[in-house]
Amino acid sequence: MELNLCNIRDVKDLMSIFHLSFRKDLGQNFLIDSLIVSDIADLCSPDPDCTVLEIGPGVGTLTRELAARYRKVVAVEIDQSLIPVLNYTLNDFSNVTVIGEDVMKLDLAEVLGEELKHGPVSVCANLPYYITTPILTKLLRSGFPFGQITVMIQNEVAQRLCAPVGSKNSGAITVFMAYYGVCTQAFTVPPDRFVPSPNVTSSVMQIRLHKERPVHPRNEELFFKTVRIVFEQRRKNILNALTLGFPDMSKETATKIIGSFGWPAELRGERLSLKEFSDLSDCISSYGLC
C-alpha cells in the first residue's frame, strides 16, 4: 500500500510502526494538507536549480515536494528518532541530504557554501514555533546570501514581522526584519491542517533579503540594543526609555540627543523609522555610550 503523508491515519501508523510519538517540546505539528504543502513548495524558489535548506523535515512531507521541484534539498532534523523514518519516506529521492542536528548549531557556510556554485540557496520550512525567533535571527545574521526564505510560523508573529516599521503592530523584531529584508505574508493555515493540531493559526511568509542594507549604523550591536531598549519601554516616552535602558546616560544627555533631532520629549520611540533608529544609535555612540 502506498503511504500518503498527508493522510492523518497513515502518519499516525508510520509513527507507531517506528514506536514514536509526536514531541510537543520540539514543536512537532506535521502538515497534513497536500494543497498547502504543495503551495509552500511552489513558493520556495522560482529557480529549479536551487538548493533548499529545510529546517525540521519531520516525517518528510514537505521534503518530498521540495525534492520533486528543486535540484537539491538539505534537511536538518534535531530529533534523531525521526532519521530512520526520513530514510524510509525519502528513499525514492537521491537529491536529499538529511542531517540529524540542531539547526542552531549548524555551520551554514560549511554545509551550504559549496551549493552556491550550482545556483541559489533558499530556505523553506514549517518552523517549530518554540524557536522561531532564534532560527530567523540566526538565518538573517549569518550573512549567508539566501535567495529567499519561506517559512510557516505563528500568524501573530508573522503579522508583527511584516508590519510597517513605526506602525501600531510593530516591535523590535519588525525593525530587525526591515533592516535585513522585505517580509510578506502569503497565506494563513488553520490549526486543523496539522497533526497534532497546534492551538494557533499559522501563516506562511516570505523574506527577500536586501542586496544593499537600507541603513548603515556605525555600530550594529548598539543599533540593535537601541531598538530593543525603545520597545522594552514602549509605553514610555523616548526620554524615559533611553535613560532607563542606558543607565550611564544622564537625563541632560538624553534631552540633548532627542533635541538634536528636533523630536518632542513626549515622543514614543516605537514611532521612529528605520533611518531614525539608525541615526539615534549613531548619536548615542558619539557620546561614547554603548
Residues near ligand SAM (CB under 6 A)? 26-31, 55-58, 61-62, 76-79, 102-104, 126, 128, 131
Least separation in angstroms between residue 63's CB and ligand SAM is: 7
Least separation in angstroms between residue 145's CB and ligand SAM is: 22
Least separation in angstroms between residue 68's CB and ligand SAM is: 15
Q: Which is nearer to ligand SAM, 112 or 229 (CB)?
A: 112
C-beta nearest to ligand SAM: residue: 56
Q: What sign for the dihedral angle of Cα 87, 88, 90, 92?
A: positive
Q: Which is nearer to ligand SAM, 76 or 172 (CB)?
A: 76
Residues forming beta bridges with residue 123, ordered by sequence position: 53, 149
Give the number of other Cβ atoms within 10 Å of residue 137's Cβ.
Answer: 16
Q: What sign for the dihedral angle of Cα 281, 282, 283, 284?
A: positive
Least separation in angstroms between residue 169's CB and ligand SAM is: 24
Least separation in angstroms between residue 29's CB and ligand SAM is: 5
Q: Which is nearer to ligand SAM, 92 or 212 (CB)?
A: 92
Q: Give per-residue burial for 169-190: e unless 16+ CB within 10 Å, then b.
A: ebbbbbbbbbbbbebeeeeebe
Least separation in angstroms between residue 82's CB and ligand SAM is: 6
**Cα angle 48-153-59, degrees, rounded to a multiple of 5:** 65
For residues 125 and 118, the answer to whether their CB atoms sit within 8 Å is: no
Long-range contacts for 97-105 (Cβ within 8 Å, ≥24 apart)?
Answer: 97/72, 97/73, 98/57, 99/74, 99/75, 101/76, 101/77, 102/78, 103/55, 103/56, 103/76, 103/78, 103/135, 103/138, 104/131, 104/134, 104/135, 104/138
Displacement of CA 203 from its chain's centroid (Å): 12
Q: Which is nearer to ligand SAM, 86 or 272 (CB)?
A: 86
Q: Which is nearer to ligand SAM, 83 or 244 (CB)?
A: 83
Q: Which is nearer to ligand SAM, 128 or 245 (CB)?
A: 128
Cell 556554485 locates to 117
Q: Which is nearer to ligand SAM, 57 or 147 (CB)?
A: 57
Least separation in angstroms between residue 190's CB and ligand SAM is: 15
